[in-house]
Structure 1
Amino acid sequence: MPDALTMDKIVSLCKRRGFVFPSSEIYGGLGSSYDYGHYGVLLKENVKARWLEAMVRERDDIVALDSAIILHPQVWEASGHVGGFTDPLVDCRFCKKRFRADQLDDAQCGKRPSKHPGETDDCDLTEARQFNLMFETRVGPVEETGTKVYLRPETAQGIFVNFKNVAQLARRRPPFGIAQVGKSFRNEITPGNFIFRTLEFEQMEMEFFVPPAEADEWYRYWIEERRAWYLRLGIRESHLRVRPHDADELSHYSSATSDIEYLYPIGWSELEGIANRGDFDLTAHTRASGTKLEWVDSATGERYTPYVIEPAAGLNRSMLAFLCDAYDEELVGERERTVLRLHPLVAPVKAAVLPLLGKDAEMAGRARALYEELRRVLSVEYDDNGQIGRRYRRQDEIGTPWALTIDEQTLEDDTVTLRDRDSLAQERLPLGRVRERVLDLLAAPWSSPKAS
């Protein structure tokens, strides 16, 4: 029976197989900053692509946007971030660790992890201080005369300040949405748990503008729609739940918020939040900018400030959830196999082309030809290095759903072996049908074979 999944196992696999590396590692690293290797980039791009498909390409009521990372500083004053985007902070003079004052009961003492900060005689906590979560920088070549600006802590405000532009040009009327994927930056007090909470991260946010009377209906719709998206991409239902926020948890702009939570190795934690933001944002920017951000029906003359329903997901957290849910260990032929059972649509590489004998010129030639054919339509990999069993294991660990092996029989009858990652079943098929077969498999329904 394999041991329970730990974050250490995920971290080890990610570094070993080139998904994620500590940033600036040769200089000792920078806390909670990470670089994404080849397979990490491909995995992230696939998650983004599936999100954009679900949000934009497959719908008529949502359009895309890519707003600037550095916005006018008044944007953050109007949104409440400058005055209110702070957390209470305490330091322990003994262990030198920093904690959120409102989360001491959930934190671990720096010297005695079984205790909470403040529970031991050695703990020496400072008074709580407010800690600004936004990164400041300056625009202008001379520091003394430059304008103080901020790296955005969320992508949402870039959508709100563009509401008028999009409403006029996109030929949409409420209910309609604006979707954006991009980087955000937060000077986190307690970053950690690998890529779960980092200083810079990517968000997948959509602001859905609705008539005020329809806000609750759309709020409930988007909770279920976003939950279903994770299930469709293979996340096990037993590891996913919806948790409505209590009244004392709600942000100042929210009348209702629910978190879609995933059961990470660190416990149940937020994967995505869905909030009913009301008309707070458009009203605040209207008041601060003097520009009316409202919907006007040209036919009837009706005008109102739309309410906003916001599904906001972290790309890094989504990637981590897919990795955790896919990670599996099993015994195959008395040898332990580590495998990422990723949904094929999310997997970094869809198929691996493997000549049984890499130094055999004829086998290698057939394999390269097949690889060149498939790479035009799929993310595929060619691997002729090492024993075939080791190559299978390598592909299993990066989540490749199918392996295509060219062997002696291929030279006789132009057939190849297709091996399935999850079942280990093999089938023989003609070289001329490989592309069609892999594309059919990719389009077929898929669910995790892991026990719930």
Structure 2
Amino acid sequence: MSKNNDEIFKNVISHAKEYGFVFPSSEIYDGLSAVYDYGQLGAELKNNIKAYWWKSMVQLNENIVGIDSAIFMHPKIWKASGHVDGFNDPMIDNKDSKKRYRADQLLEDKIARYEKDGKQDKANQLQEEMDKALNDDNLARLKDLIIEHEIACPVSGTRNWTDVRQFNLMFSTQMGAMAEGSDEVYLRPETAQGIFVNFLNVQKSGRMKIPFGIAQIGKAFRNEVIARQFIMRMREFEQMELQFFVKPGTEMEWYKKWKETRLKWHLALGTNPAKYRFHDHTKLAHYANAAVDIEFEFPFGFKEVEGIHSRTDFDLKQHQEFSGKKLQFFDPEINQSYVPYVVETSIGVDRFFLATLINAYEEQDLSTEDKKDSRTVLHLHPVLAPYKAAVLPLTKKDGLPEKAREIMNRLKLDYNVTYDEKDSIGKRYRRQDAIGTPFCITVDHQSLEDNTVTIRHRDSMEQERISIADLDRIIGELVSWKNVLAGLQE
């Protein structure tokens, strides 16, 4: 990672806290590792991200419906899904620092350093050997690779490693009034299983026909032992998942379609396509016959933000076997029942939130020969911006605040808007730039005479005089969901 990228990432983290996007959880008690809270602006941005996903999935597709399943589920579900026996990460401890790391991530960091140093052959060789060890579940070989490539603990700087061991990532707790005799249940490590166990309920109550999808947004919990890269890897996180049920034999056609559809969703926000890439899995999960990640270029390299998997009929068959209930679809076209195949798309809300912040963040030098000047601006797409407009009275007197409040009260029936009368107008503009507000509406003495205001555009900083009566139309045209949703239908 170059110093420049490192500094940008640190600045984004600092900016997120300073302006109320993301706070360390329990900060007054010195925080809790790998847990974060979303502040007042972060909650707004996060809700807008979720709305964008939900509208594009459920609102635009007649054959996709949404549910909200419980976090707690019957313990046998996690046995059936393979999480009890197989939801593990290969972990290694440094004996000197007492810190625990994921063995594959230590190796991935080494590969990234080789690539940065121009040693592509070494990077390719290590990638190949690591993939083979992971595929073979060869833990001893993973340790050998760490030793052979002289990987040291980032904390102690030593290479005094334990053996690699598997570590289950599920949180367990007791359900019942008494600890004794109570059932052990798990906090769900993914939201997908809540969809699978409701397959029949949704299909029958919604009279759904194959192909159809079930979408869900919800919290998931994993006992991640590595706290790093801010909100990239957390113990409590949120997923937006679609399970799309298809006729067996058509899954690869749908897999290809969903790959294209999901990348289009990301790019519809105006992101540079070079920031995204597909990364095919070399090691497939036990349930998959095809898998790909959509990766975004973060300051610390390309990392997964979304996964698309062809899950075959594994999940429904497992739940059918463990529950004793038939989970099949009767297809009237061929006059027979079958267990559908599934194509999944799963995106991390928090990772996409971070990608959105990083992509939007810019430090601009506005200096001229006469004056030094700069600003930090978030170029958030208007549909995602926490506030759509800021209403600013030029002064706190002469009836200007009253006029500004009148405008704000009208606009807030349709949009989330903010009001600010503190500091000079220039400082207020800079504050709104820093939180990504697309418009600033300045109310001055002329406003009282002819019902016009100055509207300032965030990205260009251009200002124009318009009638108050035109505000709804001008703001609405820019912040409407139609702008991005229409593009997804083309």
What TM-score range do you get, normalising by the shorter chain? over 0.9
Q: Name the % identity.
A: 48
- Correspondences of 1:41-190 after superposition (within 5 Å): 41-107=43-109, 116-117=151-152, 122-190=158-226
Q: What one-letter code is carried by the residue in structure 2 that aligns with 1:362?
A: G
Structure 1 residue aligned with 2:310, among 276, 279, 303?
276
Is the contact made by 1:134 and 1:153 (CA closer than 8 Å) also made in structure 2?
yes
1:449 matched residue in structure 2: none
1:18 matched residue in structure 2: 20
Q: What one-letter code is carried by the residue in structure 1 that aligns with 2:83?
A: H
What are the Cα deviations for residues 43-70 of structure 1, in whole angstroms up to 9, with x where unaligned? 0000000000000011101000000001
Residue 40 (str. 1) matches residue 74 (str. 2) = no
State the 1:263 CA deviation.
Answer: 0.3
- Against the structure 1 CA distance between its residues 241 and 75, is the aligned structure 2 distance closer, same or farther, given a 3 Å change threshold? same
Residue 352 (str. 1) matches residue 387 (str. 2) = no
Q: What one-letter code is carried by the residue in structure 2 that aligns with 1:437?
A: I
Q: What one-letter code is carried by the residue in structure 1 that aligns with 2:326?
A: K
1:228 matched residue in structure 2: 264
Is the contact made by 1:69 and 1:184 (CA closer than 8 Å) also made in structure 2?
yes
- Against the structure 1 CA distance between its residues 169 and 298, is the aligned structure 2 distance closer, same or farther, given a 3 Å change threshold? farther
Q: What one-letter code is carried by the residue in structure 2 that aligns with 1:42?
A: E
Cα distance in 2, alignment partners of residues 267 and 131 from structure 1: 26
What are the Cα deviations for residues 74-115 of structure 1, in whole angstroms up to 9, with x where unaligned? 000000000000112111011222112333323589xxxx97
Cα distance in 2, alignment partners of residues 178 and 250 from structure 1: 23
Q: Which has the higher helix share?
A: 2
Cα distance in 1, alignment partners of residues 11 and 157 from structure 2: 34
- Correspondences of 1:197-216 after superposition (within 5 Å): 197-216=233-252
2:132 matched residue in structure 1: none
Cα distance in 1, alignment partners of residues 443 and 417 from structure 2: 15
SS at structure 2 position matched to 1:319: helix
Cα distance in 1, alignment partners of residues 434 and 26 from structure 2: 25
- Greater CA deviation, 125-134 or 266-275? 125-134
> Where do 5+ consecutive residues of structure 2 fail to align?
114-148, 485-490
Structure 2 residue aligned with 1:338, among 372, 376, 381?
376
Cα distance in 1, alignment partners of residues 393 and 58 from structure 2: 40
- Against the structure 1 CA distance between its residues 122 and 430, is the aligned structure 2 distance closer, same or farther, given a 3 Å change threshold? closer
- Greater CA deviation, 326-335 or 116-125? 116-125
Structure 2 residue aligned with 1:250, among 284, 297, 308?
284
Structure 1 residue aligned with 2:440, among 403, 407, 430?
403
State the 1:190 CA deviation.
Answer: 1.8
Is the contact made by 2:152 and 2:158 (CA closer than 8 Å) also made in structure 1?
no
Structure 1 residue aligned with 2:402, among 349, 356, 365?
365
Structure 1 residue aligned with 2:452, among 410, 415, 418?
415
- Greater CA deviation, 298-307 or 426-435? 298-307
> Where do 5+ consecutive residues of structure 1 fail to align?
447-452
What are the Cα deviations for residues 103-148 of structure 1, in whole angstroms up to 9, with x where unaligned? 3323589xxxx97237999322112222110000010011121100
Is the contact made by 2:279 and 2:294 (CA closer than 8 Å) also made in structure 1?
yes
Q: What one-letter code is carried by the residue in structure 2 that aligns with 1:117?
A: A
- Against the structure 1 CA distance between its residues 177 and 10, is the aligned structure 2 distance closer, same or farther, given a 3 Å change threshold? same
Q: What one-letter code is carried by the residue in structure 2 that aligns with 1:166?
A: V
The TM-score, its normalising length taken from structure 1, stands at 0.93
Cα distance in 2, alignment partners of residues 103 and 263 from structure 1: 17
Structure 2 residue aligned with 1:295, among 311, 326, 329?
329
State the 1:345 CA deviation.
Answer: 0.4
- Against the structure 1 CA distance between its residues 230 and 340, is the aligned structure 2 distance closer, same or farther, given a 3 Å change threshold? same
State the 1:7 CA deviation.
Answer: 1.7
State the 1:299 CA deviation.
Answer: 6.8
The TM-score, its normalising length taken from structure 2, stands at 0.86
State the 1:332 CA deviation.
Answer: 2.3
Is the contact made by 1:196 and 1:316 (CA closer than 8 Å) also made in structure 2?
yes
